[in-house]
Structure 1
């Protein structure tokens, strides 16, 4: 995908937010994240559009901090999946991000700004919500009550739904747990929330490093569940991996259509390697025999994420069930 000037778009772990009649697509800037540079990210970048089709680069909204070694925004810090919500009363923009720290813990960092494009100020330094190592996540603000919810993977264990404080910068202590699994690749990560006809939906993926893994949709009548797993939503994807991608968020248009934003981290990964990666991940955590080739790839560290691709997938409903089918082209006005 390219911006209005013909340059490749670099938005990963991305989301879209509507602000004052404009759409902003934002996420991790991976444009310089090659193994040679050692850069995990180059800050949080955004693009603006009035029609969801033509995107203008507005630059970095939360810059990297190369001169602050212990900052979560240092280019080598493993910062992932920034999510920004707007406080319904104050109008402030609250950004949560996860950081994988060198001590093996994953912590949440919270920033806040008066304007979407910043400047963002740190308001809550790295912490473990509810005392838990918090992985991939999504933020939700109820459009009617203004209450906030934080869906996150309790690393390699289960999915947590936690209530946010009134200012949306912390958790209250009220939470519920869902989809418990003994270990990857079955543990659900990358939660992406959306609402349809008054019901709550969550898309999650399995856990197997950067390899594509199985997507799953669940439905509930409340944020805290109980959640009913509906299974694989892809009738024409034999791998069940959202077409070799991982969904990071779902954006709902004014007309009620839902667009899942995803990353294809390993664009050239063949199907047989994907299946081997699932088996290898299960073997790793269940005490089985590791796959030498898969293990070698993982031990090499993060891949060339600057070459990752963007995938947009529309979520449609057939017989009241969410379905994701491949479309070669898409526009906000039509189903093609």
Structure 2
């Protein structure tokens, strides 16, 4: 692994609980990792510790095999870690041209090498020919690309990006996330990225870490986080879904999960009934696990609908009070308050202890 974080703890004086505790993760060279979680969960503190801007109280951080932070007080200064950083406020110098902003970290190079590198990274971020312009002449997305070019110019061994798109509008954020991923991949950069936006995380990350209260719940790819969440918190935090009460039963060679929506049968990875007391558990039902079916005997009332273009996200309530969600093609335009038929269509069962 190129970046290795092992059992990391960061503790602030006067606080009972560590800001980061027991975090272990790794990134191979050229991979992009993303930290996501609610405000105050410790993701920015972890990023700052990797940068050398926060002291580590336990555990260690390795870059390219070398220890750069350790609990014994060993710490390589930030400027010696060869790390490029991009912040949410861009931190561009308004009085300097784009070219001079980008050249800021490579001013010790000979003038000709500076100019060549500036041209190279501006072309990489899609801003060739912009060296003479000033930050105030650029859009927010273009300013963010300048900040990225400036961070890439010194050829850092690791890029750290702290909520770099949070000041941009929603549509631009997701598009720029895809573009930045392409730029980082083209540069061969290894990067760690902090965001609170799931669509950004899914768009840019090879690996995504979900944090809560200083702990890392899961470090995995987006598919696994969505379909195979390791903890109830990850299941609840990622995507749309609800927990439905279920009872696991052994029927011949198969395990069936009985739920208010009907039996979940022929589902892969279903736990054995002995996994939970009396076989009683909660199963995760994603919005794409619930199908609109007028022929189904299970009826639910629409309590909320969100138009998503090609589909609606319906929030539905069963007669017993259980609330579920369903993605329904948008030509099935039902009114709030209307009752519709639904049925479960689950490929694999994700179960947790009964809440």
When the two structures are superposed, what TM-score results if normalisation uses the length of structure 2? 0.25
Q: Which has the higher helix share?
A: 2
Larger Rg: 2
